[in-house]
Structure 1
Amino acid sequence: MSVTPLAAHHPSDRPGPAFRGRIGRDARSGHYAVPRRYRLHLSPADPDGLRIAVTHSLLGLDTACPVTVLPAVPDCPDGGHSALRPLYEASAHHYTGPALGPVLSDDWSGRIVSTHGPDIARDLARRFGGGRPSLYPCGAESEIEAVQRMCAQGVEQAAQRAGSADADPGERAGALDTLLDTLDVLERGLAAQSYLISNQITAADVELWVTLVQLDTVHRHHLDASAVRRVAGHPALWAYARRLTTHPAFGRHLDLDGIARRHEARCQGLEAAGAAVQILDWTALALDADRARPQVERP
């Protein structure tokens, strides 16, 4: 099955072509679910990589779909990963762009199936998730998509604009209002229930948790202290983030040093006073998650 590079469509996607192959139900699909046929290449310091890593762990796919962890900061002058270059060159004739993650590759063909983070997460859950927790419950697709849009536009993009050095004061104030309004909506929902749209963890919770990680470890560095305190003033929301972080499938993938190095390498904004107002102690929470992991006895 050939895969043609397409334009990226997800708000978190990076510029450049994306491969949009999908894993189907059976052999007629070309790509279909076979244990150990596919491999993930990702960096947990990247938001898309972190979403996929958490999804992969929630589904217990360590054996069925191995993971190759990429460095937090790409090692090529064009911003790509040298380890991914052979896959890109095998998958796209005369490919000259950066070799970026995340990547789902097919070990049978040595080619890329997909570089589109949301598609990869969905296919892992739907095609390899038999007998495992349902991250995309039947009938919840529209709610999950609504949460994804809320996180991308109401939190991620609004936080970026609220801390942008290029925006005028009015734009920054308006963006901060959008951010706080979105957090207010999420706060009201989580004050009444443990998870966003179900009585169990779903893809919506993975999406929101990664967004909150980015908000506190990246975006707050460009907000003033007053704005960060207002962001922090959502107790149910941050208690939810704290609780999920102590879950081994979430906290074990937190690469705080990698997130900081990736941010430093990519960021062109100015640090503001909010950088000193940390909302959660992610390091301590990640250690709690590591302690909670089942210990494997060694002979």
Structure 2
Amino acid sequence: MTETTQDERPEHGTGGTYSVPGQEYARDTRYITTRIVADPAPGSDDVAVEPGRFRLVAARACPWANRTIIVRRLLGLEDVLSLGLCGPVHDARSWTFDLDPGGRDPVLGIERIQEAYFRRDPEYPRGITVPAIVDERTGAVVTNDFAQITLDLSTQWRAFHREGAPDLLPPAHREELDAVMRHVYTEVNNGVYRCGFAGSQEAYDAAYDRLWTALDGLEARLTDRRYLVGDTITEADVRLFTTLVRFDAVYHGHFKCNRQKLTELPALWAYARDLFQTPGFGDTVDFWQIKQHYYRVHTDINPSGIVPDGPDLSGWATPHGREALGGRPFGDGTPPGPVRAGERVDPEHTPLR
């Protein structure tokens, strides 16, 4: 959704083409690789971390953007990195700020994130994607490399983390973490898209088998351990969560990932509820926006544009029992505080209210 995929390229949008007949889905991963780092190397185009200078532009509908919102909140970067939120439905040009008064981002003053891309490069040829970090001084996008953004928030922005912020990339587990995160991305995060955007029966069948092989493996892995790596929440859990929380609402039906619902996978369902009920996770999730986005934007997959009323999402609030597996969610740290005013999910859009 937020990677440079077919659905976010400038020529696509509502009513666009997401599934190419006869082809398997291949994600376009060309991003702006500029980084925001603590100490930019001489001669690089990287930019120095500076509190109050940058704005994270995201969309609650999007799993890749949701990842950055979660990490920002867990690390307590709200006062350092501001947050702009696009609405759930983008058009052929780009995501828009239609939820803001007057349809403009109140800080950047723009109607579309496309404008920030064009301020960096008037001929910008790639996908207009979220998440993106924008320099508030120039109004130009600095980076949209979503995978690197969260890694840098944990490592390069460390001086500005809140007191008690968790270590989402613990060095003692980093090698295992990198392997697990790579597996989660290729097989699950991107795997649901390979199913949903498959252009042939053969491509779909292969994608479906590959996805469920991975999910079965994760079900087994999480049966006797609370988190994916070690005994604390890490970025690997953030990355898996954003797909799982969308699974029954959109991927099961809309993307035909329908061997089973998440609610029918005991370990994964309990694991997902455990995270959802942990501060920093479920309080960033807007199920209404998620459903609006997938069912209304992918019109070649859902030509009617009808958004289903179901499924019943009240189960997300039920006890999960994962405490019995031990673990320390925030390690030696503490949970984040209450969600900031102006960043709260509409209570009508979440089962926890």
For this structure pair, what is the TM-score category when the shorter chain's length is used for normalisation?
Answer: 0.7 to 0.9
Q: Specify the alignment match of 1:71 in structure 2.
A: 87
Q: Specify the alignment match of 1:246 in structure 2.
A: 277
Matches within 5 A, 1:39-78: 39-74=55-90, 76-78=91-93
Q: Specify the alignment match of 1:211 in structure 2.
A: 243
Larger mean CA deviation between 127-136 and 234-243 belongs to 127-136
Q: 1:219 to 1:295 in 2, by over 3 A?
A: closer
Shift of residue 59, structure 1, vs aligned partner: 0.3
Alpha-carbon distance in structure 2 between the residues aligned to 1:277 and 1:175: 25
Shift of residue 141, structure 1, vs aligned partner: 3.5
Unaligned runs of 5+ in 2: 10-29, 97-110, 319-335, 341-353
Q: 1:31 to 1:193 in 2, by over 3 A?
A: same
Matches within 5 A, 1:20-31: 20-26=33-39, 31=47
Q: 1:43 to 1:198 in 2, by over 3 A?
A: same
Q: Specify the alignment match of 1:86 in structure 2.
A: 115
Q: Specify the alignment match of 2:104 in structure 1.
A: none
Q: 1:155 to 1:276 in 2, by over 3 A?
A: farther
Tell me the matched-pair count: 276
Residues 23-42 of structure 1, C-alpha deviations (whole Å, 9 max, x = no match): 22226565122221211011
Residues 273-292 of structure 1, C-alpha deviations (whole Å, 9 max, x = no match): xx89848536647xxxxxx9
Alpha-carbon distance in structure 2 between the residues aligned to 1:154 and 1:89: 33
Q: Specify the alignment match of 1:102 in structure 2.
A: 131
Matched, 1:18 2:49: no
Larger mean CA deviation between 61-70 and 31-40 belongs to 31-40
2:210 to 157, 173, 178: 178
Q: Specify the alignment match of 2:260 in structure 1.
A: 228
Larger mean CA deviation between 159-168 and 215-224 belongs to 159-168
Bigger RCO of structures 1 and 2 (CA < 8 A, at least 6 apart) = 2
Q: Tell me the secondary structure at the aligned position of residue 248 of structure 1.
A: coil
Matched, 1:138 2:190: no
Shift of residue 172, structure 1, vs aligned partner: 4.3
Residues 181-232 of structure 1, C-alpha deviations (whole Å, 9 max, x = no match): 2122112221221111121111000001012123222210147797125x54
Q: Tell me the secondary structure at the aligned position of residue 191 of structure 1.
A: coil
Unaligned runs of 5+ in 1: 1-9, 286-291
Matched, 1:111 2:143: no
Alpha-carbon distance in structure 2 between the residues aligned to 1:263 and 1:38: 29
CA contact (8 A) 2:130 2:144 kept: yes
Structure with a larger share of its residues in helix = 1
Q: 1:38 to 1:135 in 2, by over 3 A?
A: same
Identity %: 27
Residues 229-258 of structure 1, C-alpha deviations (whole Å, 9 max, x = no match): 5x5442111101001001120111111111
CA contact (8 A) 1:102 1:115 kept: yes
**What amino acid does structure 1 have at the position aligned with 2:94?**
G
Q: 1:13 to 1:212 in 2, by over 3 A?
A: farther
Q: Tell me the secondary structure at the aligned position of residue 118 of structure 2.
A: helix
Shift of residue 160, structure 1, vs aligned partner: 4.1
Q: 1:89 to 1:294 in 2, by over 3 A?
A: closer
CA contact (8 A) 1:104 1:113 kept: yes
Q: 1:45 to 1:105 in 2, by over 3 A?
A: same
CA contact (8 A) 1:87 1:110 kept: yes
Q: Specify the alignment match of 1:198 in structure 2.
A: 230
Cα RMSD (Å): 3.4
Shift of residue 171, structure 1, vs aligned partner: 5.2
Alpha-carbon distance in structure 2 between the residues aligned to 1:47 and 1:89: 24
Q: 1:191 to 1:256 in 2, by over 3 A?
A: same
Alpha-carbon distance in structure 1 between the residues aligned to 2:138 and 2:192: 41
Alpha-carbon distance in structure 2 between the residues aligned to 1:23 and 1:226: 40
**What amino acid does structure 2 have at the position aligned with 1:60?**
G
Q: 1:208 to 1:280 in 2, by over 3 A?
A: farther
Alpha-carbon distance in structure 1 between the residues aligned to 2:139 and 2:223: 47
Q: 1:20 to 1:225 in 2, by over 3 A?
A: closer
